[in-house]
Amino acid sequence: MFKARMKFAKEGRAKYISHLDLMHAMQRSMARCQMPLWFTEGFNQHAYVSVALPLSTGYSGECEFLDFNITAEAVPENAVEALNDVFPEGLRAIEIYPLADGGMKVGSIEWSQYRITWGFEDGTPKGFADDVRNLFRRPMVEIVKRSKRGEKTVNMRELMRDLTVTDGPDEVTAVVTTAAGNNNMSPEYLTRAIRQYLPQYEIPFSAYHRMNVFTSDGTPFR
Amino acid sequence: MHKKMEAILSRVQKPARYVGGEWGSVMKDKKNIDLRFAFCFPDTYEVAMSHLGSRILYGLLNDQKGIWCERVCAPWIDMEAEMREAGLPLYGLESGDPLYDFDIIAFTLQYELSFSNILNMLDLGGIPVLAKDRTELKHIVACGGPCAYNPEPLADFVDLFMIGDGEEIMLEFTDLYRKAKREGWSKQEFLIAAAQIEGMYVPSLYEVKYHENGTIESVTPTHGAPALVQKRIVKDLDTMYYPESFVVPSTDIVFDRAMIELFRGCPRGCRFCQAGHTYRPLRTKSKEVLLKQAQAVLKNSGYEEISLSSLSTSDYGELSGLTECMLDYCEPRHISLSLPSLRADSFSAELMERVQKTRKSGLTFACEAGTQRLRDVINKNIREEDVLHACEIAFQGGWNNVKLYFMMGLPTETYEDLDGISDICKKVAYCWRENTPNRARGVRITASASCFVPKPQTPFQWDAQDTLEQFREKQAHLKVVMKTKNVTYNWHDAETSVLEGVIARGDRRQGKAILLAWQRGCKMDGWDQCFDFDKWMQAFRDCGLDPEFYASRQRPMDEVFPWDHIGCGTRKEHLKREWERSREAAITPDCMHQCAGCGASALLKGGKCHV
């Protein structure tokens, strides 16, 4: 038996699958393509799978990771294709590989890169993109951040970097890297900050897509 | 997906149930489709997707070239409010296209309290709710399922009803519709022709006359429609269509597992049970076919649990051989097997051992009534000794979670019978103390008493249902006498059962009240947080209808019922005979021991019931 990791994408209709449901969907997909999965041996036996940094329901992502144990000697040939043949729409396996020495630890993830899309009913309001750029150029953007330990006012500029904003006719997209792991800041806080500091803009639609995850020194996690 | 829809989905509870895209859902190219079929379930996705019949018919229809069958479910309150606010119509889960794009809108009728959802779904889908307001061939609204055995309360809304097993009649119906569409028939031409299909009931082709006292004088067919619409049955379950795979929801549903159907019909003649009388005659599937279908479904779905489904699983002749073979397949694959609907009198240590091999869940026994006298009245041929014996085995085997089901308000019931419920619970608790290997672990005994609803096409169709006040007094009494330690008594407010009782034996005049109740906001009536009893009763009274006339009136034996022209296979004379025997507390043996002559075997046309 050895540990394996799958890099996968969760897009389209699949972005509404919640974390717990995603694990069931993964277990059932694996059963459909007869992946030699290791099962827990307790009272309630089940295939062991674990998702690194689960996405919020409604977010899409192309850099998701699922860890599981394989009872065979090696990852079955064509495992990626076999899974993609039996996945629900919107889930896509990208790569499956064994984890030598346990692989990179999920706890080492410190940054996530997101693409945020702000959409509008009747075209992008004039000046929106520039105002957003200027807002996040300020050294200090204070927001109230909620966590399990309660509410805290933080300077969100310290929890984000590398923001680029691209203007479009009906929507504006931003690519940004935000803190993950212990200091996690959801990209939704950017939308909240805009609503708070630039209240003149109405943002009817916002979508979030995770593009990449990194360790503290900027190495892509795998 | 529409941007507006995405924004809505980010705000509603459990959005995964609104997007489709699950494994096993069928996508087709609209270019090659000449019939778009909306398979609507008038309840939430979680309930809809748990229903085996819908899974079978979804597979059957999509197996046909040229037909695309999609699933449509009732959105939960928050989603509906958002959709109405944004002006988004109800849609098919597969294509996302609005309901008004479909040709046939079909609903399955599982439960009377989902009727208001039918109106609501049609309206949300941009389709007029009244049949007379839909004048084109497009948007034929069809219904089938258990509640179609009294279709009359829905006569104003539904164009046609399919009576009996859907597998049989469905393709004859879609073939005729496609012909009508090709040849440009009018809706009326189509309905008149459809009424000639055996098992098809077109309510608009029947004229109903009433006596002054409100009961029915006559039901007269017009345009050549048959005087009796006899249900359709699948004669051979082995060769019947069964899907190779199921839609596997990507979110949690009520019964989230694979299923195989052991048999259709039930050899027991419990007099309160509608399914027991309307699914006759008994037809079984062979062990070999079941194993093949179970393996295909498990392999293709990836489910980790499979249940053997039927009305009375322990009556399957080869149950022990079947479970043996099933376990041989399931155990190495970590698949668990569940056997619902086991009877207490057939519960054996051997069977328990097998089920236990995989996962140990709770055990449920349906006693139905508290005394032997009343169990004889309802022909539930089970004795207290059977229940206690089954519990003894279960407790010795280490089980410590037992549920007991009862009904209150059964015909001829007295307070002695209610005390009997409490007595049985006491004895079960005592049985646990005497038999458990480990008293320290404790025990959970749950007794549930539901309120009896007399159903059409059963021997109790003549009987008065208890009134709300009677139910409440009985519940209060049970609360007082159910004092045994370790026994939890569950009850449910009687209001839903009373409304169910009113509609179950209603006539077509009720359509006005159903329409009015829906217009005043009634929907999702099966859900406590939505149900508004007073609104419903007011709607009946405002339409000049007395709910008690339908529910709590003892009906004379010669009364013409609104559903008398719908045949369920079991003859009315048999039901009458059974009613008479019930008043003498005389039991009728099950079909395996002696044929009671119910008449259903005639549907097999020279064949014999599988007993």
Please report which confidence band the pLDDT of residue A5 belongs to, taking 50, 70 and 90 as the band edges: very high
Closest CA of chain B from A87, distance in Å = 6
Kindly report the three-state secondary structure assignment for every residue of A136-158: CCCCCCEEEEEECCEEEEEEHHH
CATH topology for A109-215?
Alpha-Beta Plaits (3.30.70)
Contact B129, B90 (CB under 8 A): no
Phi and psi for B62 in degrees, rounded to 5? -75, -15
Sketch the domain layout of chain B as residue ranges.
3-230
In the predicted model, what is the mean pLDDT of residues A66-86? Answer: 95
Q: Note whether A45 contacts B: Cβ–Cβ < 8 A.
A: yes
**Phi/psi at B331 (nearest 5 deg)?**
-55, -50
- CB-nearest to B300 from A21, A32, A57 is A32
Q: Which residues of B touch A89 (CB under 8 A)?
A: 20-22, 25
**pLDDT, tens only, B222-278:** 999 999 999 999 999 999 999 998 999 999 999 999 999 999 999 999 999 999 999
Give the pLDDT band of residue A147 (cuts 50, 70, 90).
confident
CA angle in degrees (0–180, nearest 5) for A76-A78-A81: 130
Res B1: pLDDT: 63
**Residue B573, pLDDT above cutoff 80:** yes
Q: What is the pLDDT of residue A181?
A: 86
Q: Which residue of A has its CA nearest to B21?
A: A89
Question: Of residues A46 and A193, which shows the higher confidence score?
Answer: A193
Q: How does the average pLDDT of chain B come out, rounded?
A: 94
What is the chain B residue with the closest CA to A208? Answer: B10
Instruction: Tell me if B336 sits within 8 A of B305, measured CB to CB.
Output: yes
Half-sphere exposure of B498 (CA within 13 A, CB side): 24
Nearest to B302 among A21, A29, A58 (CB): A29
Give the per-residue pLDDT at B396: 87
Angle between helices A19-32 and B287-301 (to 10 degrees): 120
Q: Cα separations (Å) of B182 from B141, B151, B278?
A: 19, 29, 36
pLDDT, one tens digit per residue, over B427-484 is 999 999 999 988 888 899 999 999 999 999 999 999 999 999 999 999 999 999 998 8
Q: Does B244 touch chain A (CB under 8 A)?
A: no
The reply to whether residue B23 touches residue A86, judged by beta carbons under 8 angstroms, is yes
- Across the interface, of A28, A57, A205, the residue whose CB is closest to B7 is A205
Residue A21 sits at the chain B interface (C-beta within 8 Å): yes
What local confidence, expressed as pLDDT, does residue B74 receive?
98
Report residue B608's pLDDT band, with 50, 70 and 90 as the boundaries.
Answer: confident
User: What does the alpha-carbon distance between residue B164 and residue B278 come to, in Å, rounded to a whole number?
Assistant: 8
Q: How far is B289 from chain A (nearest CA, A)?
A: 21
Distance from first CA to last CA of chain A, Å, rounded?
Answer: 20
Residue B2 confidence (pLDDT): 78
Distance CA B98, CA B118 (A): 16
Nearest by CB to B248, from A18, A28, A90: name it: A28
Which residues from chain B sit within 8 angstroms of residue A31, using beta carbons? 302-304, 333
When scoring B4, B9, B10, B256 by the number of chain A Cβ atoms within 10 A, the one with the most, hence best to mutate, is B10
CB contact under 8 A, A88 and B18: no
* Position B218 pLDDT exceeds 70: yes
- The size of chain A, in residues, is 222
Distance separating alpha carbons of residues B471 and B469, to the nearest angstrom: 5
Q: Which residues of A touch B15 (CB under 8 A)?
A: 16, 57-58
Question: Which of A29-33, B152-156, B398-402, B492-496 is predicted least confidently?
Answer: B398-402
**Is B19 in the A-facing interface, judged by CB distances under 8 Å?**
yes
| Pick from A27, A39, A58: CB nearest B10 | A58
CA B445/CA B486 separation, integer angstroms: 6
Q: Are strands B140-144 and A49-52 parallel, antiparallel or unpaired?
A: unpaired
Residue B30: pLDDT over 90? yes
CA dist B173 and B181 (Å) reads 12
Query: Tokens at residue B231, please?
Result: 């249900």
Cβ-Cβ contacts under 8 Å, A24 against chain B: 250, 252
Beta-bridged to residue A113, according to DSSP, are: A177, A212
A25 — contact with chain B (CB < 8 Å)? yes
CB contact under 8 A, A27 and B359: no
Q: Which of residues 80-109 of A touch B (CB under 8 A)?
A: 86-90
Pick A13's closest partner by Cβ from B3, B20, B299: B20
Helix or strand (DSSP H, E) at B486? none
- Residue partners of B135: CB distance under 8 A and separation at least 6: B187
DSSP A42-69: SSS--B-EEEESPPPTT-EEEEEEEEEE
Which residue in B has a C-alpha nearest to residue A11's C-alpha?
A: B21
- For residue range B63-105, what is the model confidence (pLDDT) as tens digits? 999 999 999 999 999 999 999 999 999 999 999 999 999 999 9
Q: Which amino acid is at B431?
A: C
Q: Which of B12, B91, B246, B250 to mutate to test the interface with A (most CBs of A within 10 A)?
A: B250
pLDDT at B353 over 90: no
Contacts of B23 in chain A (CB under 8 A): 25, 28-29, 32, 86-88
Domain with CATH 3.30.70.580 in chain A: 2-103
Write out chain B residues lying below 8 Å of A40, CB-based. none
Does residue B171 register a pLDDT over 60? yes
Instruction: Measure A218 CA to nearest chain B CA, in Å.
Output: 31
When comparing pLDDT for B317 and B27, which is higher?
A: B27
Question: Are the beta carbons of B252 and A21 separated by less than 8 Å?
Answer: yes
Q: Given CB atoms, is A49 within the 8 Å cutoff of chain B? A: no
Six-digit token pair at B355? 């089920």
Distance from CA of B339 to the nearest CA of A (A): 18
Of the candidates A25, A44, A86, which has its C-beta nearest B250's C-beta? A25
Chain A / chain B CB contacts < 8 angstroms: 80
CA distance linking residue B366 with residue B343, whole number of Å: 7
Residue in A21, A39, A207 nearest the CB of B250: A21
Residue B401 has what pLDDT?
85
| CA B373 centroid distance within chain | 28
Q: Assess A123–B contact: CB distance below 8 Å, yes or no.
A: no
Q: Where does residue B193 fall: left (phi above 0), alpha (psi -120 to 50 degrees), or beta otherwise?
A: alpha
pLDDT confidence of residue B354: 67
Residue A42 DSSP code:
S
Which of A12, A21, A31 has the CB atom closest to B16's CB atom?
A21
Within 8 A of A21 by CB-CB distance, chain B residues are: 16, 250-252
Chain A CA closest to residue B357: A43
Phi-psi region of B139 (alpha: psi -120 to 50; beta: other; left: phi over 0): left
Pick the CATH number of A2-103 from 1.20.1250.20, 3.30.70.580, 1.10.10.10, 3.90.1640.10: 3.30.70.580
Sequence-distant (≥ 6) Cβ neighbours of residue B82 within 8 angstroms: B8, B11, B12
Q: Does B332 touch chain A (CB under 8 A)?
A: no
Judge whether residue B414 has pLDDT over 90: yes
Does A151 score more than 70 pLDDT? yes
> How far apart are the C-alpha atoms of B472 and B309, rounded to whole Å?
34
d(CA B223, CA B206): 9
Question: For B2, which residue in chain A has the nearest alpha carbon?
Answer: A205
Chain A residues with CB-CB distance to B9 below 8 A? 16, 58
Residue A49 pairs with which residues in a beta bridge?
A68
Domain B3-230: CATH superfamily, name plus number: Cobalamin-binding domain (3.40.50.280)
pLDDT at residue number B341 = 67
In this prediction, residue B206 carries a pLDDT of 98
Average pLDDT over residues A163-177: 96
Of A17, A28, A47, the CB nearest to B251: A17
CB < 8 Å to B250, chain A? 14, 17, 21-22, 24-25, 88
pLDDT digits (tens, 9 = 90+) for B300-343: 999 999 999 999 888 898 888 998 899 899 988 989 888 876 77
> Position of tokens 């599981």?
A68
Determine, for residues B23 and A204 on separate chains, whether the beta-carbon distance falls below 8 Å.
no
Residue bearing tokens 């980790």: B304
A28 contacts on B by Cβ (under 8 Å): 23, 248, 301-304
Residue B334 forms contact with A (CB below 8 Å)? yes
